[in-house]
């Protein structure tokens, strides 16, 4: 029994020793792998570790109305080299030629010998991700792929090409802030931000291998191809944008202003044709840093007086021919004094004239009389709501702010006894320039309010994915009678009022000047102003509406009529020159009766030309000779076509009375060389008709 027990114990000890020995061996192997050979195994592990990484899609383009590129992504490449993957035989055979190509075409800072030594040194160090050059364009990248060694392919030649895109704007500052941007370190801005998802497309996937904490592509091609982003076609007209931005820039510079905004909108559709925003950098340089058109709330000043007048007209409490006492241009409202911008000492005048002269006192008195009591103030607020002045436009650009119109029923609005007088002339209310313009555009559009929009379609490979059409926001912001009265008021401002000096000789336009004091509530702050002008043109058949705001002008004037008004006029006149649809058609009026002496006399030319012209103009004519050439002659009140014979003989023909084109055709077909003096029609020829044509030089006198 004892022997059996001892035998069992011996076996247990043997198993225990075996387990201890095995554990010691495992511990030793783990120590050796992690400590002694750890570096080697980790490097091998790194080389074997692969994963899929996202590959950015080609970002879509942003296009102008005519298809011109406003923003596009250009491909650039980072060229690197894996010096370990190629064999010694391939490397030795190509290193000299590769060094020559790289030093000559890629990196001129190195000599050929210096580049050769660099490649050899980095290969000995086991470099697998050597940077050759960043930001290589497509043309150079294609050239590099053909270099010796690199032309053997990714896994044999070691060439690593990584593509990235850079956003470029061919027109530079033009509509810079409206186009916007998307950056990792900043909030998305403008169209780039609003349509980021559509422009960005869908990411692809590429298999990447980790080499010393750096991922390099296993293959040149993506495993999952990215889907390119859609193109965005805007309503921006490149020519009108250039005109608008240039006019605004000159004004900001001339008046040493803090900045400015100008927007040009198509009346019938709400399409934004131009939008410019300028400000100053810390160094004083004029630049487009912020989209003030939609992202800055301002007190509109006198441009808001139109809304006050329309509210009064809509409530039928005034007539434009009624009288108003301007009290010499100064009045106390409770303890606050209100003054007109200019001293005029005027008393009784018509309400129309008070508006055209932009009298603060006149407009404020009317508003206070009919809307001053708090129970009536709600009517004023309701009228402003009817005009959609209390809501944003909804334009497809990020950052539009909500207008601030005081509601008398809201306890948080700091309503006071002077709120109505000051609101009526554009203070204690805040709107963006675009919201003000949208209101004026509605007046120009006979009361119909359109949604302002700056994107017309999303496209893919030239095919439209989504189309954005003009959208009516409100059928009418006021009655037809009020709208007509408002239009006549705006025309009167330019015809007789504060914008009289801005009249154009080429067409009539309508609008309102505005001058708003900035920071008037702050003490010990220098008085500054925002100058503005809002209106539309041509007055009779509005095609475009426009607003110009110049912030804090310091030199050469401060008022809307002398600072912002000239910018509006320049934009309007240049638009008129560029856009033929603004010009009246020549055949709009009935044709005038022509006197006998105004009919064409002794015109000589091809008979078919005369017949075509007279038929088109519906001018009756007598005779129709059966000849190629004819003379048009007026006889009393009738045009007659007479015969002009140009024979086939080799003789110099009579070309007197002809235009140069016809004379050249006939004479050169006779083999003659023609010299011309003057311009107009042929009055004399140096060789008499009937002379034998022998290739002579004939001189024609034209007048």
> Does 591 reside within a domain?
no
> Does 367 reside within a domain?
yes
Query: Structural domain tally of the chain?
Result: 4
Q: Which residues pair with 265 in a beta bridge?
A: 272, 545
Residue found under tokens 């009361």: 447
| Whether 398 contacts 189, CB under 8 Å | yes
In this structure, the answer to whether residues 10 and 92 fall within a common structural domain is no
Q: What is the structure's pLDDT at 325?
A: 94
> Rounded to an integer, what distance in angstroms lies between the CA atom of residue 281 and that of residue 243?
23
φ/ψ (deg, to 5) at 545: -110, 155
Radius of gyration for the alpha carbons in the chain, expressed in angstroms and rounded: 41
Q: Where residue 343 sits, what CATH number does that domain have?
A: 3.40.710.10
> Does 342 reside within a domain?
yes
The tokens describing 544, both together, are 């475009």
| Whether 501 contacts 513, CB under 8 Å | no
- Other CB atoms within a 10 A radius of the CB of residue 203 amount to 15
In this structure, the answer to whether residues 386 and 509 fall within a common structural domain is yes
Greater model confidence, 216 or 140: 140
Mean pLDDT across the chain, nearest whole number?
86
> Rounded to an integer, what distance in angstroms lies between the CA atom of residue 691 and that of residue 83?
89
Closest CA to 248 of 278, 274, 272: 278
> Does 236 reside within a domain?
no
Q: What is the structure's pLDDT at 639?
A: 79
Q: What is the structure's pLDDT at 220?
A: 55
| Whether 446 contacts 459, CB under 8 Å | no
> Does 197 reside within a domain?
no
Q: What is the structure's pLDDT at 598?
A: 58
Q: What is the number of alpha carbons within 13 Å of residue 67 lying toward its C-beta?
A: 3
> Does 588 reside within a domain?
no
> Rounded to an integer, what distance in angstroms lies between the CA atom of residue 664 and that of residue 658?
10
Cis, bond preceding 372 (omega within 30 deg of 0): no
> Rounded to an integer, what distance in angstroms lies between the CA atom of residue 184 and that of residue 198?
17
In this structure, the answer to whether residues 227 and 245 fall within a common structural domain is no
Residue found under tokens 């140009």: 646
User: Pairing between strand 330-333 and 336-339?
Assistant: antiparallel
* Model confidence at 594: pLDDT above 60: no
Task: State the Cα torsion 232-237-238-240 to the nearest 10°.
Answer: -150
At residue 232, the 3 state secondary structure works out as strand
In this structure, the answer to whether residues 341 and 285 fall within a common structural domain is yes
In this structure, the answer to whether residues 23 and 138 fall within a common structural domain is no
| Whether 130 contacts 81, CB under 8 Å | yes
> Does 185 reside within a domain?
no
pLDDT band for 208, please (50, 70, 90 cuts).
low
> Does 180 reside within a domain?
no
Q: 287-297 in b/e burial notation, b at 16+ Cβ within 10 A?
A: ebebbbbbbbb
In this structure, the answer to whether residues 12 and 82 fall within a common structural domain is no
* Model confidence at 253: pLDDT above 80: yes
At residue 136, the 3 state secondary structure works out as strand
In this structure, the answer to whether residues 84 and 27 fall within a common structural domain is no
Tell me the average pLDDT across 286-314: 94
| Whether 573 contacts 506, CB under 8 Å | yes
pLDDT tens-place string over residues 470-529: 999 999 999 999 999 999 999 999 999 999 999 999 999 999 999 999 876 666 666 889
Q: What is the number of alpha carbons within 13 Å of residue 416 lying toward its C-beta?
A: 11
Q: Is this model's pTM higher than 0.75 or not?
A: no
pLDDT tens-place string over residues 353-369: 999 999 999 999 999 99
> 502's torsion region: left (phi>0), alpha (psi -120 to 50) or beta?
alpha
| Whether 177 contacts 277, CB under 8 Å | yes
> 671's torsion region: left (phi>0), alpha (psi -120 to 50) or beta?
left
Q: Where residue 159 sits, what CATH number does that domain have?
A: 3.90.1310
pLDDT band for 429, please (50, 70, 90 cuts).
very high
In this structure, the answer to whether residues 248 and 352 fall within a common structural domain is yes
Tell me the average pLDDT across 183-197: 84
Out of 6-20, 306-320, 448-462, least confident range: 6-20
At residue 505, the 3 state secondary structure works out as coil
- Other CB atoms within a 10 A radius of the CB of residue 527 amount to 9
* Model confidence at 55: pLDDT above 70: no
Q: Is 93 exposed, middle or buried (0-12, 13-18, 19+ CB in 10 A)?
A: middle
Helices 305-314 and 360-371 sit at what angle, rounded to 10 degrees?
Answer: 40
Cis, bond preceding 507 (omega within 30 deg of 0): no
* Model confidence at 41: pLDDT above 70: no
pLDDT tens-place string over residues 616-662: 877 777 777 778 887 777 766 677 777 777 777 788 888 888 888 88
Residues 6 or more apart whose Cβ sits within 8 Å of residue 665: none
- Other CB atoms within a 10 A radius of the CB of residue 624 amount to 12
Q: What is the structure's pLDDT at 215?
A: 57
Q: Which helix (H) or strand (E) holds 675?
A: strand 673-678
Q: What is the structure's pLDDT at 601?
A: 59
In this structure, the answer to whether residues 221 and 254 fall within a common structural domain is no
Q: What is the structure's pLDDT at 39?
A: 63
In this structure, the answer to whether residues 527 and 643 fall within a common structural domain is no
CA distances from 320 to 349, 492, 493 (A): 11, 12, 14
> Rounded to an integer, what distance in angstroms lies between the CA atom of residue 630 and that of residue 397?
65
CA distances from 422 to 324, 336, 497, 523, 559 (A): 18, 10, 22, 19, 18
In this structure, the answer to whether residues 164 and 255 fall within a common structural domain is no
Residue 16 lies in domain: 2-36
| Whether 203 contacts 54, CB under 8 Å | yes
pLDDT tens-place string over residues 657-690: 888 888 888 888 888 888 888 888 888 888 888 8
In this structure, the answer to whether residues 407 and 468 fall within a common structural domain is yes
């Amino acid at each position: 029994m004892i022997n059996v027990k001892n035998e069992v114990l011996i076996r247990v000890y043997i198993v225990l020793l075996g387990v201890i020995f095995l554990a010691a061996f495992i511990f030793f192997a783990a120590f050796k792998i992690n400590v002694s050979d750890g570096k080697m195994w980790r490097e091998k592990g790194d080389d074997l570790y692969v994963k899929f990484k996202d590959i950015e899609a080609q970002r879509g383009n942003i296009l102008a109305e005519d298809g011109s590129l406003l923003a596009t992504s250009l491909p650039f490449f980072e060229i690197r080299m894996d010096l370990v993957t190629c064999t010694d035989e391939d490397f030795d055979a190509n290193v000299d030629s590769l060094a020559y190509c790289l030093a000559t075409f890629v990196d001129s800072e190195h000599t050929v010998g210096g580049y050769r030594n660099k490649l050899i040194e980095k290969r000995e160090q086991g470099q697998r991700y050597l940077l050759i050059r960043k930001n290589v364009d497509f043309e150079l990248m294609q050239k590099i792929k053909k270099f010796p060694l690199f032309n053997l392919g990714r896994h044999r030649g070691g060439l690593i090409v990584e593509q990235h895109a850079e956003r470029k704007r061919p027109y530079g500052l033009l509509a810079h802030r409206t186009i916007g941007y998307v950056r990792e370190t900043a909030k998305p801005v403008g169209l780039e931000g609003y349509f980021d998802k559509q422009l960005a497309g869908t990411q692809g996937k590429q298999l990447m291998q980790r080499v010393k904490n750096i991922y390099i592509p296993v293959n040149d091609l993506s495993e999952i191809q990215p889907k390119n982003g859609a193109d965005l076609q805007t309503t921006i007209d490149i020519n009108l944008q250039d005109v608008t931005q240039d006019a605004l820039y000159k004004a900001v510079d001339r008046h040493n202003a803090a900045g400015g905004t100008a927007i040009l909108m198509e009346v019938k559709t709400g399409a934004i044709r131009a939008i410019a925003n300028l400000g100053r950098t810390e160094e004083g340089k004029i630049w487009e840093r912020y989209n003030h058109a939609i992202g800055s709330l301002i007190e509109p000043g006198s441009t808001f007086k139109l809304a006050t007048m329309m509210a009064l007209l809509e409530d039928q409490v005034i007539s434009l021919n009624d009288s108003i006492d301007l009290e010499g241009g100064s009045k106390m409202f409770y303890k606050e004094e209100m003054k007109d911008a200019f001293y005029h000492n005027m008393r009784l005048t018509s309400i129309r004239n008070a508006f055209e002269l932009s009298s603060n006192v006149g407009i404020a008195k009317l508003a206070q009389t009919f809307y001053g009591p708090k129970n009536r103030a709600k009517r004023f607020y309701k009228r402003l709501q009817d005009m959609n002045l209390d809501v944003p436009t909804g334009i497809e650009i990020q950052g539009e702010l909500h207008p601030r119109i005081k509601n008398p029923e809201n306890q948080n609005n700091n309503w006071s006894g002077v709120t109505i007088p000051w609101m009526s002339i554009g203070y204690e209310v805040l709107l963006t320039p675009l919201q003000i313009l949208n209101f004026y555009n509605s007046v120009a559009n006979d009361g119909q309010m359109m949604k302002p929009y700056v994107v017309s379609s999303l496209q893919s490979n030239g095919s439209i994915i989504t189309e954005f059409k003009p959208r009516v926001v409100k059928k009418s912001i006021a009655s037809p009678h009020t709208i007509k009265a408002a239009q006549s008021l705006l025309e009167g401002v330019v015809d007789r009022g504060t914008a009289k000096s801005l009249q154009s000789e080429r067409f009539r336009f309508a609008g309102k000047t505005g001058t708003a004091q900035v920071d008037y509530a702050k003490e010990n702050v220098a008085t500054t102003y925002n100058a503005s002008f809002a209106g539309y043109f041509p007055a009779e058949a509005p095609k475009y509406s426009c607003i110009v705001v110049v912030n804090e002008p310091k030199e050469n004037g401060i008022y809307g009529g002398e600072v912002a008004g000239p910018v509006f006029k320049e934009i309007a006149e240049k638009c008129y020159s560029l856009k033929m649809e603004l010009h009246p058609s020549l055949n709009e009026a009935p044709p005038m009766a022509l006197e006998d002496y105004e009919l064409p006399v002794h015109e000589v030319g091809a008979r078919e030309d005369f017949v075509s012209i007279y038929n088109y103009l519906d001018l009756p004519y007598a005779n129709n000779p059966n000849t190629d050439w004819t003379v048009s002659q007026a006889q009393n009140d009738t045009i007659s076509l007479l015969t002009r014979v140009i024979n086939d003989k080799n003789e110099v023909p009579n070309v007197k009375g002809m235009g140069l084109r016809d004379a050249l055709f006939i004479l050169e077909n006779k083999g003659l060389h023609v010299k011309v003096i003057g311009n107009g029609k042929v009055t004399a020829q140096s060789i008499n008709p009937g002379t034998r044509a022998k290739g002579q030089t004939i001189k024609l006198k034209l007048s």
